[in-house]
Structure 1
Amino acid sequence: MPSYKLTSDQRVQLQSFLERHPNLDETQGYQRAKELGLEPKQIEHHQFQNTEIKAPTLMQTDVINQQGDNINDREEADWMEELSTVACAAMAELMCLIRVHGPLWANSSSGEGHVLVPEIYVNLFPWIRRLSLHDTVEESSKHCITVRIQARQLVEMLLDSEEWVNFFPTIVSTAERVIVLDIGSLDDRHGALQVVYEKLHSFSPLASPRELFFLRYCQKVADNVWAIAHVSIDSFRGHFRSFTARRLPSGFVIHQITEEFCMVTWIEHVLVKEQTNPRDHIHDNTSFGAQRWLWALHRMSERFACISIENMPLPASPEVLNSTNPIYKALRVSNGMVQGFCQVMYSKGFPQTLEAQGNKINVTLRSSTAPDMPQGIIATAVASVSLSVSPHEVLSLLTDPRKRPQWDILSYGFTVNEEQTYNQVENNMMIFQESCADPWGAYVVYAPISMKNACTIMSGEDSTVPKVLPSGFLITGHHRAIAAQSSSRGQPAANNKYSVGTFLTIGYQLLFSCDEESPDDDPKREIAIRILFSILGKIKSSLNISD
């Protein structure tokens, strides 16, 4: 890792220069480095550091404002060296875990991927004993997959917090690059070091989210091979952070194996504080494991590949999206729709919880001013219910265009025809829908879209992306023991029988005009709730479920 120590005179001169020239180009940077007797790398680092201090985000805000100018040179350098040492140690452990096979890793119970053998891991890395508390659970997983994207491009995207959320919308609701400690080489990002905050979710909003505060460190470890290591940190510039989850040295290695494909090996290793979950049958330690990250990565990589393919195989429909421009636009609409829906579903900002028909409903009203959302007052209602049918049956009902009139009030009982990725419900409206299923759950997200906007997407003539307001469903399976008998350790007894059921979370959003009375008007909430229960009742009826 490079040294960032500056003399007092160098620091004053450089700070003064950066204030006068905040957008320093490469030529100016080299010239200033020569004048101050510095390396260009040091100029790059302090330029980014200066930018982060001027526009701090998330947790660093108060800390930088209060302490930024008071940390002397030695303390600043020692702090940087300490974080660099932690990052290097995490990278070394990650590479060891990637390369070592044999007794260190055992097959997972699902038969997919591997898990660490705790006894052997502790012998290799005895420092873990200091962290293993009685109220924590250790989770580990290792998996690899081949994805269709160039390794260098993937590295660049995964070092970007915004792209990180775009890649993993059903896992990551929030990702913030708190501060850039080192941007790394401009050629290959070797040496890039960041402090990152993120909030993770399983498919069901009923499960507790995980918050992580960690270092992200990138190295190019060989030709066409990159590694990105993650490791949690307890403090930042003297302020301590406490979360329920701690990421032990984890990360992934990206290896370019052909011109078009690369192999990604992913390791997740965390300590999680045990929490009592009143609905623990939805809790699954694999919800944040390596395989789930790679499933999401593979799906998004295929999307990017589709955008770049000039001559895609065309479906039978003559109205198929037949150029890369509309495909790109459709994917942008779809990604934004899914990401926006997940953020609403995982939000804890619902000010009002009501109970109706034995179900708790979270409901809120908010003014929409975001550029990618329709303008007006948005009423949102969310409820989770348990259904005594399999997740497959629920997903089949919600994704079959022929059955859509059975539950979707927007269909008004009309026949629905599937056109590309759209469902047409009447002459002036279409439904833009995306669905996805994996071993951890499924989602169905949809939004009404005018025929004019649908034609704009399909023609690819206009570069603007239509604004949509998504609603939809999150689907997770659960197993309930039929027999009451349990083992002495609290686990289901071996002779218990199980019924497979579904947790269905419904989120419905409704747009009101800004001039339709006040934003906190109760009738708006009541309308959203009535629509949600109407949809739920129709779904139960279609699945022959009695209340």
Structure 2
Amino acid sequence: MFPCVVARASTMEMISSGMGGTLSGSIQLMRAELQVLSPLVPIREVTFLRFCKQHAEGLWAVVDVSVDGDVLRPNDGAAAAGYMGCRLLPSGCVVEDMRNGYSKVTWVVHAEYDEAAAHELYRPLLRSGQALGARRWLASLRRQCEYLAILCSNPLPSRGDGHHEAISPVGRRCMLKLAQRMADNFCAGVCATAAQKWRRLDEWRVEGGDQQQPRAAGGEDKVRMMARQSVGAPGEPPGVVLSATTSVRLPGTSPQRVFDYLRDEQRRGEWDILANGEAMQEMDHIAKGQHHGNAVSLLRPNATSGNQNNMLILQETCTDPSGSLVVYAPVDVQSMHVVMGGGDSAYVSLLPSGFAILPDGYSNAVTPDPTSQLGSSPDAQGGGNNINTGSLVTVAFQILVNNLPTAKLTVESVDTVSNLLSCTIQKIKSALQANIISP
């Protein structure tokens, strides 16, 4: 329900199963990884007790509280490097049945965390509460509820303009399932969660010892490079997969403007190497919510680009007031025909790339002074309803650099992917006529 907030969650122990055959009074010991989609913000690992109680007919409370002792940073360097200490003080939600098909949800997040673990580019957003605060949780909940309502409808709605291919409701649900896996893998790659066995390049050891350690061009840390060895499990190609991720701030460029630009198939050729400099054609469009930006699309390069016979682009776009995603992956035509016909999508191989777009945490009431303390705006102090004027954009590519899982990772492969990422950012900057602040 919270794909951009919760990387992983598990119940470690059911301490009490509730009373009277209901979950009222239940207590669970749980563990979760909370994420902000950027390599500059470490994952928050929390272990907490969850208590559920029914206060009245149609009125429930769900409360979490950490069982960790404190938020102090670990002493050893290896643990400290990827640690963002966090402790939940009593947090959670109250859910009330409105008896008209709707629920009223009141959400509270009360937590303390180690701000020094996050890059200063993201500190205003964290302080504003828009990154992992109550507004973020509620926005995600509302968007997912809209998606579930559409998923349960029959038939599933499409754009219906006569220019899209006819796909059965079963085929559309298979496409939505494939797109969800694609988006989940994208998020796992950005934040390097334990769900996928990524290794930072400074941890990557080249067998034989006769090659230098691969690293990003120029030896800088502005682009986080990771790799993993895929053995060809269902849903991903075998070989060495390289992930390149970076985040930048676009002051004065709204998140909505960035989102609208990146999902515009007519301007795709301005930044996407897969488009070969041309526009793309939308073959199918499946709505995922009331906002027209919440959708799964199937894109095809224009006929003049020469590769339209064997490659399509599966894309998922989602947006709410707290942030947006544009995630895509090349897929072969034959596999997509199977999925569109209602076939199993679990065996379709894909490697996702895309963008996570967040507000920068500043408000339009204050023009940030780069020489002053970050977070001096009203929103950065946690108050105000001002519209954010800038964006934080994370760009992430996952690319198969060798189709042999045992192959060595080369410096040339790392440099090629790093340069592709940097070039894409520059093209977007030019198209939006935006300024960029790098880490």
TM-score category, normalised to shorter length: 0.7 to 0.9
Contact 1:203 1:441 in 2 (8 A): no
Q: How many angstroms apart in 2 are the aligned matches of 1:409 and 1:243?
A: 35
Tell me which of 330, 339, 361 is aligned to 2:223.
361
Tell me which of 263, 279, 282 is aligned to 1:418.
282
Tell me which of 319, 327, 330 is aligned to 1:445.
327
Higher mean C-alpha deviation, range 504-513 or range 266-275:
266-275
Structure-2 change in CA distance of 1:515 and 1:250 (3 Å): closer
Q: Does 1:507 align with 2:351?
A: no
Contact 1:472 1:507 in 2 (8 A): yes
Structure-2 change in CA distance of 1:234 and 1:262 (3 Å): same
Q: Does 1:257 align with 2:111?
A: no
Partner of 1:249, secondary structure, is: strand
**Structure with the higher helix share, 1 or 2:** 1
Shift of 1:516: 7.8
Matches within 5 A, 1:109-188: 167-184=1-18, 187-188=21-22
Match of 1:539 in 2: 428
Match of 1:193 in 2: 27
AA in 1 matched with 2:300: Q
Matches within 5 A, 1:107-506: 167-184=1-18, 187-234=21-68, 244-258=85-99, 260-275=101-116, 277-279=119-121, 280-286=123-129, 287-318=131-162, 319=164, 323-347=168-192, 349-352=199-202, 354=216, 356=218, 360-369=222-231, 370-390=233-253, 391-419=255-283, 420=285, 421-425=297-301, 426-462=308-344, 464=346, 466-478=348-360, 479=362, 481=367, 491=376, 500-506=389-395
AA in 2 matched with 1:518: A
Shift of 1:310: 1.2
Q: How many angstroms apart in 2 are the aligned matches of 1:289 and 1:484?
A: 25
Structure-2 change in CA distance of 1:376 and 1:185 (3 Å): farther
Structure 1 residue runs of 5 or longer lacking an equivalent are 1-166
AA in 2 matched with 1:428: N
Partner of 1:206, secondary structure, is: coil
Contact 1:207 1:282 in 2 (8 A): no
AA in 1 matched with 2:110: H
Contact 1:486 1:492 in 2 (8 A): no
Shift of 1:298: 1.4
AA in 1 matched with 2:398: Q
Contact 1:203 1:440 in 2 (8 A): no
Shift of 1:314: 4.0
Q: How many angstroms apart in 2 are the aligned matches of 1:245 and 1:222?
A: 32
| TM-score normalised by L of structure 1 | 0.60
Match of 1:525 in 2: 414
Contact 2:33 2:44 in 1 (8 A): yes
Q: How many angstroms apart in 1 are the aligned matches of 2:60 and 2:370?
A: 51
AA in 2 matched with 1:363: M
Q: How many angstroms apart in 1 are the aligned matches of 2:434 and 2:350?
A: 32
Contact 1:359 1:385 in 2 (8 A): no
Contact 2:39 2:245 in 1 (8 A): no
Structure-2 change in CA distance of 1:243 and 1:485 (3 Å): closer
Contact 2:124 2:375 in 1 (8 A): no
The number of aligned residues is: 371
Contact 1:418 1:424 in 2 (8 A): yes
Structure-2 change in CA distance of 1:183 and 1:259 (3 Å): farther
Rg: which structure is higher?
Answer: 1
Partner of 1:427, secondary structure, is: coil
Structure-2 change in CA distance of 1:491 and 1:324 (3 Å): same
Shift of 1:379: 1.1
Partner of 1:402, secondary structure, is: helix
Structure-2 change in CA distance of 1:490 and 1:323 (3 Å): closer
Structure-2 change in CA distance of 1:195 and 1:460 (3 Å): same
Q: How many angstroms apart in 2 are the aligned matches of 1:459 and 1:247?
A: 46
AA in 1 matched with 2:331: I
Matches within 5 A, 1:45-64: none
Summarize deviations over 1:229-277 as a string: whole Å, max 9, x none: 2111136xxxx9x973221222223333347433332222223345374
Summarize deviations over 1:156-214 as a string: whole Å, max 9, x none: xxxxxxxxxxx111111122322222344695333432111112123443234322210
Q: How many angstroms apart in 2 are the aligned matches of 1:186 and 1:255?
A: 20
Q: How many angstroms apart in 1 are the aligned matches of 2:191 and 2:171?
A: 30
AA in 2 matched with 1:398: L
Q: How many angstroms apart in 2 are the aligned matches of 1:244 and 1:522?
A: 34
State percent identity of aligned pairs: 29
| TM-score normalised by L of structure 2 | 0.74
